[in-house]
Structure 1
Amino acid sequence: MIEINSKEDILIPFNKIGDADWKINTQKIIESIAANFGDDLKKPVSEQEILNLETKLGTTIPKNLKLFYQTFGIADIGEQLQDFNEVDWIKDIWADTPQYGPDFTEEDKQLLPYLISFSDYLGNGNMFCFHSETKEIYYYDHEDTPYLTKIFDTVDDYLKGCLIFAQNDFSENKEIDNWTEEIVVDLLGSTTVKKWRY
Structure 2
Amino acid sequence: MIEILRKEDILIPFNQIGDADWKINTQKIIEQIADNFGDDLKKPVSKEEILALETKLGTTLPENLKLFYQTFGIADIGEQLQDFTEVDWIKDIWADAPQYGPDFTDEDNALLPYLISFSDYLGNGNMFCFHSETKEIYYYDHDDKPYLTKMFDTVDDYLKGCLIFAQADFAENNEAENWAEEIVIQFLGEKTVKKWRY
TM > 0.5 fold call: yes
Secondary structure at the residue paired with 2:192?
helix
Alignment gaps of 5+ in structure 2:
none
The C-alpha deviation readout for 1:149-178, integer Å capped at 9, x for no partner, is 000000000000000000011011010011
Q: How far does the alpha carbon of each residue in 1:13-36 deviate from its partner, in whole angstroms, 9 at most, with x for none?
A: 000000000000000000000011
Query: How far apart are residue 47 of structure 1 and its match?
Result: 0.2
Q: Which residue of 2 aligns with 1:179?
A: 179
Cα RMSD for the two superposed structures? 0.4
Provide the identity percentage.
85
Residues 1:161 and 2:164 are matched in the alignment: no
What are the Cα deviations for residues 68-94 of structure 1, in whole angstroms up to 9, with x where unaligned?
000000000000000000000000000
Counterpart Cα distance in 2 of 1:4 and 1:148: 34
Q: Which runs of 4+ in 1 moved over 3 A?
A: none
Count matched residues: 198
Distance in structure 1 (CA, Å) of the matches to 2:189 and 2:152: 10
- 1:178 and 1:119 map into 2 onto residues whose CA distance is 24
Aligned counterparts of 1:50 and 1:33: Cα–Cα separation in 2: 24
Residue number in structure 1 paired with 2:129: 129
Residues 86-134 of structure 1 show CA distances to partners (whole Å, capped at 9, x for unaligned) of 0000000000000100000000000000000000000000000000000
Task: Quote the residue 1:140 is aligned against.
Answer: 140
DSSP 3-state at the match of 1:123: coil
Aligned counterparts, 1:45-124, within 5 A = 45-124=45-124
Q: Residues of 2 paired with 1:179 and 1:13: CA distance? A: 15
* Map of 1:10 onto structure 2: 10
The 2-side partners of 1:154 and 1:98 are apart by: 30
Q: Which amino acid letter does the alignment assign opposite residue 59 of structure 2?
A: T
Alignment TM-score, normalising by the size of structure 2: 1.00
**Aligned residue type for 1:26:** T
Letter paired with 2:19: D
Instruction: For residues 39-81 of structure 1, give each alpha carbon's deviation from its aligned partner in whole angstroms, at most 9, with x where no partner exists.
Output: 0000000000000000000000000000000000000000000
Aligned equivalents of 1:53, 1:134: Cα separation in 2: 18
C-alpha distance in 2 between matches for 1:68 and 1:186 = 23
- 2:17 alignment partner AA: I
- Alignment-derived partner of residue 188 in structure 1: 188
